[in-house]
Amino acid sequence: SLPLGAFDPEVAAAVGAELHRQQSTLEMIASENFTPAAVMEAQGSVLTNKYAEGYPGRRYYGGCEHVDVIEQLAIDRVKELFGAEAANVQPHSGAQANAAAMFALLDPGDTILGLDLAHGGHLTHGMRINYSGKLYNVVPYHVRASDLRVDMDEVAELARTHRPKLIVAGWSAYSRRLDFAAFRRIADEVGAYLMVDMAHFAGLVAAGLHPSPVPYADVVTTTTHKTLGGPRGGVILSRAGLAKKINSAVFPGQQGGPLEHVIAAKAVAFKAAAGEEFRERQQRTLDGARILAGRLLADDVAEAGITVLTGGTEVHLVLVDLRNSALDGQQAEDRLHRVGITVNRNAVPFDPRPPMVSSGLRIGTPALATRGFGETEFREVADVIAEALKDERFGDGRAGLLRDRVEKLAGAFPLYPHLSDPHG
């Protein structure tokens, strides 16, 4: 019954240090966000104690009357949010949502089409040593060399040649909207299922600021912790006719007991995502990404050999292209880390450098938009990033000046002020 700090000071100290890191730096990893206090409260609740194998009303354990209410709320809310016919809210993560969806639709050895990892796809879309690459016959599609957009002609051609059972559309590093209608036409032509993994842009879809894949896809998977801003987890949406197959692929196919504390947190996040405040935040997320892309396309940055993939963005992230820059992805990530901005390096399509170094940065705006950043602050942070990346003589002095600007921004938008900062 001792509180964490008293019972386990080592873990408590690391949690406190992480809180301080989040509060004092600018989080720009495109897949991260700050979840509301109410979501964390639900996730940190007694629900973590409960076994509830099965589904609401059909459980393999007693005492599920309250978790049934919670899981049904999560299901109803996410169906309403995205206009979906059926939802499974039990996948522990985005990767598990994809694994279960594929398990429902495919047999081992079946052919799938997915966007190549090196061109912005996710591990679960067919990477060689991921389950998806080991279990299924993967045919990757790509972006065009000319404009770095997904090549729908290639998708159609590969589909006609390889007759896949499933086409996966979705991405982890891509800054443009996909043409869901075109994917649907190709899937129909070859008799394939279409699965859209909207993990990255689900929040934009919920806010009505990005086309929805739901009318086009047989199955839509997502994480709940990226633009959607909820707890870490996954969801599968589907047509009603596939619901039974998908439910049995999640449990007992892939998972045992659902994480009802996380499902409660998902329910809270779906409630938040239906509100006007959430929509306004997603708009600032998009505006921030456009401001950042604009700054990184300016002449002073271009002179350093740095540009933006596809010449801009339509989503919550910007992909910085360092292929013609002396600075590589690792060095660029380190530079921004030194000024207090957290991003991740990322391979770009046709990257001449090895993946561990890479020639790209992926920079996202969801977490800063959640923190309250608007146009003025995004202009300032975009300028700090541009100054850090273009500088040929970047050293301690320059880093310190930029770090001061970052600290000023972070200080003006306190994060989780109700939680104590042991360093503050």
As annotated, the active-site residues are 51, 53, 197, 223, 226, 232
Instruction: Tell me which of 95, 341, 343, 347 binds ligand PLP, using CB under 6 A.
Output: 95
- Report how far residue 136's alpha carbon sits from residue 212's, in angstroms, rounded to the nearest whole number: 27
- Rounded least distance, CB 382 to ligand PLP, Å: 23
Please list, in sequence order, all residues whose beta carbon lies within 8 angstroms of the beta carbon of residue 332, skipping any fewer than 6 positions away.
Answer: 320, 322, 345, 361, 389
**DSSP secondary-structure letter at 120?**
T
- Report how far residue 162's alpha carbon sits from residue 190's, in angstroms, rounded to the nearest whole number: 9
DSSP symbols for 13-39:
HHHHHHHHHHHHSEE--TT-----HHH
Nearer to ligand PLP, 93 or 282 (CB): 93
Asked if 197 is part of the footprint of ligand PLP (rule: CB under 6 A), the reply reads yes
123 is in an annotated binding site: yes
Identify the residue whose tokens are 């459980």.
Answer: 59
Do 424 and 23 touch, CB atoms closer than 8 A? yes
Asked if 113 is part of the footprint of ligand PLP (rule: CB under 6 A), the reply reads no
117 is in an annotated binding site: yes
Nearer to ligand PLP, 59 or 125 (CB): 125
Question: What would the x/- binding string for ligand PLP be over residues 223 to 262, using CB under 6 A?
Answer: x----------x----------------------------
DSSP symbols for 195-223:
EEE-TTTHHHHHTTSS--STTT-SEEEEE
Asked if 200 is part of the footprint of ligand PLP (rule: CB under 6 A), the reply reads yes
Instruction: Kindly indicate which of the ranges 87-95, 182-190, 270-278, 381-389 contains the residues binding ligand PLP, using the contact rule CB under 6 A.
Output: 87-95
Size of the site for ligand PLP (CB under 6 A): 15
Nearer to ligand PLP, 36 or 170 (CB): 170
Asked if 35 is part of the footprint of ligand PLP (rule: CB under 6 A), the reply reads no
Nearer to ligand PLP, 93 or 325 (CB): 93
Instruction: Kindly indicate which of the ranges 12-20, 192-200, 319-327, 382-390 contains the residues binding ligand PLP, using the contact rule CB under 6 A.
Output: 192-200
Asked if 102 is part of the footprint of ligand PLP (rule: CB under 6 A), the reply reads no
- Report how far residue 13's alpha carbon sits from residue 108's, in angstroms, rounded to the nearest whole number: 46
Q: How distant, in Å, are the alpha carbons of 17, 159, 365, 386, 411 from that of 407?
A: 17, 50, 17, 17, 6
Q: Which residue is nearest to ligand PLP (CB)?
A: 94
- Report how far residue 390's alpha carbon sits from residue 297's, in angstroms, rounded to the nearest whole number: 12
Instruction: Tell me which of 36, 54, 94, 140 binds ligand PLP, using CB under 6 A.
Output: 94
Instruction: Tell me which of 25, 31, 33, 90 binds ligand PLP, using CB under 6 A.
Output: 31
* CA-based nearest residue to 219, from 81, 85, 127, 122: 85
121 is in an annotated binding site: yes
The number of angstroms, rounded, from the C-alpha of 250 to the middle of its chain's C-alpha atoms is 21
Do 322 and 338 touch, CB atoms closer than 8 A? no
Q: Which two tokens stand for residue 179?
A: 């043409």
Asked if 167 is part of the footprint of ligand PLP (rule: CB under 6 A), the reply reads no
Asked if 122 is part of the footprint of ligand PLP (rule: CB under 6 A), the reply reads yes
- Report how far residue 202's alpha carbon sits from residue 9's, in angstroms, rounded to the nearest whole number: 37
| Binding site, annotated residues for (6S)-5,6,7,8-tetrahydrofolate | 117, 121-123
Which residues here bind ligand PLP, judged by CB under 6 A? 31, 93-95, 98, 122, 124, 170-172, 197, 199-200, 223, 234
| Binding site, annotated residues | 117, 121-123
